Chain A
């Protein structure tokens, strides 16, 4: 008896799950930092976006390059 079946590109799902966790952590850190020091909004926001982009870039690398 088979209860379920997993097919398709599981590595993409795993990679994007990891990227989502990373982006969430970056956003949480950014919100905390801006809440403590609202004057540093610009710098914190820029750094947060760069961190998010780097986390997300690896997932997209996994999506496109690895087959």
Chain B
């Protein structure tokens, strides 16, 4: 069914009632309980889940801050970089320091909750504009995941990866808004005729959430835990060990011990990749791309003759739009692909 969804054109896909019903109602209506009740429980559960997610984010960020600060040393040659790698603290909320990227994270989260609630509060069979956009987004992603994963695993991974995608897209795009990263406290500019002009912003009020390594490390950590959980759920503990270390080719009994040694060696390298390289690279790729883009835009806009700044910044903005969308896509797609490598049957690979 998933390949059918992909092969149809967009208009048919959106108005196909059968697929729509299968997507939204099938998993719930089979239990035989009243539909309205289920939708209420479902929404209530989702709200609790979102709250728990933010609580976890909060806790992880609280703990992650010193570690990341230690791991990412500030560049030595620049006394005051254009955009600092550490998000500056705006104010303290009890014992908890609130940084500008945290404020921006909350704004983005509130925005997402409001938009999704407004567009899907009253679901109609013939969708309006907002519902149309959300459905196209979700069905497109379900088709993409269906290419990589089995239907059973899609059902586990889909809500997780989809929330990541929406959250990262909106967080990345705040990078491009005027005022984010440029309005704040800093050294006063005496030569400017404007009353509150600032030469160089050291403490901006808003900072794009994904330019803070704490957020991306926290997201990669959540993916790491959930990925291992899904791998264990799919394969079982012994199945997982067999999947990573086992012999994956057909062989006779004379070659078997030799191949077993080889595959154990491969398994050690693969488990190093699973346990360390994948989450770290996932976190740092997103952080590095968006932080680099933010630095590039700030650098371009602080060139001295104003026409030169505009000349440099306009291509930069076009490039950043592409990078922001692409990095969100890549993060989500890599999460799906990593889960896909762990949640497949080794038997099926014998055919080719």
Name A's B-contacting residues (CB within 8 A). Answer: 8, 42-43, 46, 49-50, 52-54, 56-58, 60-61, 63-65, 67
B284 contacts which of A8, A49, A52, A60 (Cβ < 8 Å)?
Answer: A60
B271-298 interface code vs A (CB 8 A; 1 in, 0 out): 0000000001110110111001000000
Question: 5 closest Cβ contacts across the A-B interface?
Answer: A60-B288, A53-B330, A57-B285, A57-B281, A64-B284
Given contacts A46-B147, A61-B280, contact A53 B72 (CB under 8 A): no
Q: Are B337 and A50 in contact (CB under 8 A)?
A: yes
Residues of B within 8 A of A56 (CB): 285, 289
Q: Are A49 and B330 in contact (CB under 8 A)?
A: yes
Distance to closest chain A CB from B148 (angstroms): 8
Among B65-82, those with CB < 8 Å from A are 71-73, 77
Q: Are B333 and A65 in contact (CB under 8 A)?
A: no
Given contacts A49-B329, A50-B330, A50-B333, contact A58 B281 (CB under 8 A): yes
Residues of B within 8 A of A57 (CB): 281-282, 284-285
Mostly, the B contact residues are helix
Mostly, the A contact residues are helix
Cα separation A49 to B144 with both chains bound (whole Å) = 13
User: Would you list 5 pairs from A and B whose C-beta atoms are within 8 A, ordered by A residue?
Assistant: A8-B77, A49-B333, A50-B334, A53-B285, A54-B281
Distance to closest chain B CB from A23 (angstroms): 12
> Taking the complex as formed, is B6 at the interface, i.e. its CB lies under 8 A from any CB of chain A?
yes
Distance to closest chain B CB from A37 (angstroms): 15
> Taking the complex as formed, is B326 at the interface, i.e. its CB lies under 8 A from any CB of chain A?
yes
Q: Can you name the residue of chain B whose Cβ is closest to the Cβ of A58?
A: B281
Distance to closest chain B CB from A62 (angstroms): 10
Residues of A within 8 A of B6 (CB): 42
Q: Are A53 and B73 in contact (CB under 8 A)?
A: no
A43-B147, A49-B333, A60-B288 provided; 19 other pairs, C-beta below 8 A? A8-B77, A46-B333, A49-B326, A49-B329, A50-B333, A50-B334, A52-B330, A53-B330, A53-B334, A54-B281, A56-B285, A57-B281, A58-B281, A60-B284, A60-B292, A61-B280, A64-B72, A65-B71, A65-B284
